[in-house]
Amino acid sequence: MDNRTLTESGPQVNNRAIARLFATVADILEVKGENRFRVLSYRNGAEAIDSMGSELTGIYHDGGVPALIELPGIGKGIAAKIEELITTGRSLFVEELLESTPPGILDILHLAGMGPKKTGSLYRELGIDSIEALEAAAATGKLQTLPGFGEKTEQKILKAIESFKSFSGRNRISIARAVAAGLIEYLKEVSGVTSVEAAGSLRRWRENIGDVDLLAISTEPLAVMEAFTGHPSVATVVMKGSTRSTVVLESGGGGRSSGLQVDLRVLSPDDYGSALVHFTGSKAHNVALRERAKAKGLKVSEYGVFRVTAAGEVAAEGERIAGATEESVYSALGLPFIAPELREDRGEIEAALEGTLPTLVEQSDLRGDLHCHTVWSDGACPIEEMAEAAMALGYDYLAVTDHSRSLTVAHGLDSARLAEQIDKIDVYNEKLRESGKSFRLLKGSEVDILSDGTLDHPDVLLARLDIVVAAVHSGFGMERAKMTARVIAAIESGRVNIIAHPTGRLIGMREPFEIDMEAVLRAAKEHHVAMEVNSYPERLDLNDVHLRLAKELGVKVAISTDAHAADQFVNMEYGVHTARRGWIEPEDVINCLPLEELLRFLGKG
């Protein structure tokens, strides 16, 4: 992480970014063995800021530093740093702290199961300041010389390192898409450019991205290459040609230490469709297309579809039969168009030949969102603001699902507060009806599934809700059989409608917990419980593989944002495209249902 992660989404410093920054400061100070009261001041400040309903920028502009100091958890020192962040977008203290910290420490902190206490012990006692040093020490049993680091802990650390390495050098799709979108808008303004589009794994909506591939149509390719390689974010020009160039962008953003590599190809309109097919991939899908072309006496490449002789050579000049559009390429091979998300060689060619390709869910099919948080727990916006944002999106309904009491870090609601919130939502819905609006707020809760499988609110209170979203938020290290039994017990309770983020993973940061997903899905099918596709780019949980299994077993899903602020409803696109990768259709998704049908599914109709 560096100081630039404050402004991932733009120049404005927001509460969540400041809270993350102060939490990182607390972690680093704890690793270095600083005074525990100093560590606590930053950690408490981070938690207080993250739970505030009003933005610090507004509070500061209205009342300056004195207004900040009046806030709970904010002292003079932290208030001064908030002022610096708001007015300059940076913090000299944080920059100096990061410069004095081995960068590998931050990587270790992001390993599953590692925190500042363990990382600090390793750093101070054994001098371990990088992933490589940690792996070597764990592999040789050296960690066992420290209190609390047994053989089992070493094995968990080695597994976490393996996961980290598999993600290293890759970026979450949300980061890669933001970068690609900026470049695409920039290139569209270049003279002669008529089209620019992302290809590769980004267009297939994989959850993490290595390189970004861009394809453009232009009558002036040299001008496009000059503009591309001269973009302000380019750190290194790897290769520059007349129709293809490769650059590496400046590092920073998303906690990654390396910048994205971006490849740009400029094409003629006649080649654009075949190039899109070729460079969207995947490699296995393209191999399957080439084999099909060969069987039909054709050759398919990035330049088009051609007739070939018995010797496999292009038959003659002008024997190019397709290439301007993707549809023409697939048609020439005797196939209907195959959506980019399906191009993974997971049976899509066979389904296309059989006429059984799914009619994939579209974002426009969704009628509402069934998982969001407000200022009542750890959200940033009041209920009314979240409802208004949902109505602005054209939704028919929105479920308010603040956390339950056991998740104290998220200020979870106890029974009394949940009952109060239920009454408040009833009043709000009545006002909507009186004003002639058909929109409906659904009364819900994201209820913790406790270690024994029971739920974190009493049945009598859960019965008053329209929707119950249940989730595991603790005990991630539970062994597979126990975790499976824990989640199935919640499903069998008769009170749960949706299992949220069913594997608990955070992409690149926390491995999914051990669970028998097929057994859980079979229980969900039997008890009419839906499984969530959590649209947070860090989660995307269920993933595409589990979604495909859910579809095969006939389990319904809910595509929800888990939004903690109104501006996070835009994350829905990540859930939708993840669902599409899992072959999900509108009839598989409960929030594609009209309100009355949804209520019947929830047992409230």
Q: ∠ CA 320-323-327 to the nearest 5 degrees?
A: 130
The beta strands (E) that lie in 150-210 are given as 171-172, 193-198, 208-209
Q: Which amino acid is at 11?
A: P
Q: Could you report the per-residue pLDDT of 311-332, keeping only the tens digit for each? A: 667 666 558 899 999 999 999 9
pLDDT at 106: 84
The mean pLDDT of the chain is 90
The rounded percent of the chain whose pLDDT value lies above 70 is 94
Lowest mean pLDDT of 26-40, 323-337, 344-358, 578-592, name the range: 26-40
Residue 149: pLDDT band (50, 70, 90) is confident
Domain map (residue ranges) of the chain? 3-167, 172-354, 363-601
Q: Which residues pair with 441 in a beta bridge?
A: 398
Between 116-126 and 131-139, two packed helices, what is the crossing angle to 10 degrees?
Answer: 80
Nearest alpha-carbon partner for 476 in 448, 496, 497: 448
Q: With contact defined as beta carbons under 8 Å apart, do 334 and 321 qualify? A: no
Lowest mean pLDDT of 6-20, 217-231, 298-312, name the range: 6-20
| Residue with the two structure tokens 């940033």 | 380
- Counting beta carbons within 10 angstroms of the beta carbon of residue 356, is it exposed (0 to 12), middle (13 to 18) or buried (19 or more)? exposed
CATH classification number, 172-354, choose in 1.20.1740.10, 3.30.360.10, 3.30.460.10, 1.10.1740.10: 3.30.460.10
Q: With contact defined as beta carbons under 8 Å apart, do 35 and 125 qualify? A: no
The values of phi and psi at residue 115, to 5°, are -140, -175
Q: Which is higher by pLDDT, 2 or 212?
A: 212
Is pLDDT at 401 greater than 80 in this prediction?
Answer: yes
pLDDT at 523: 98
Lowest mean pLDDT of 237-241, 389-393, 417-421, name the range: 237-241
Between 131-139 and 151-167, two packed helices, what is the crossing angle to 10 degrees?
Answer: 140
Taking domain 3-167, whether its CATH number is 1.10.150.110 is answered by yes
pLDDT at 14: 76
CATH class of the structural domain 363-601? alpha beta
Residue 287: pLDDT band (50, 70, 90) is very high
Neighbours of 186 (CB within 10 A): 15
Cβ within 8 Å of residue 40, ≥6 positions away: 26
Is pLDDT at 251 greater than 90 in this prediction?
Answer: no
496 torsion bin: left (phi>0), alpha (psi -120 to 50), beta (else):
beta
pLDDT at 319: 84
Q: With contact defined as beta carbons under 8 Å apart, do 266 and 217 qualify? A: yes
pLDDT at 210: 84
Neighbours of 46 (CB within 10 A): 22
Residue 562 CB-half CA count within 13 A: 22
pLDDT at 9: 33
Q: Could you report the per-residue pLDDT of 193-228, keeping only the tens digit for each? A: 999 999 999 999 999 888 899 999 999 999 999 999
Q: Could you report the per-residue pLDDT of 412-466, keeping only the tens digit for each? A: 999 999 999 999 999 999 999 999 999 999 999 999 999 999 999 999 999 999 9
Nearest alpha-carbon partner for 206 in 503, 506, 510, 574: 574
Is pLDDT at 475 greater than 60 in this prediction?
Answer: yes
pTM: 0.77
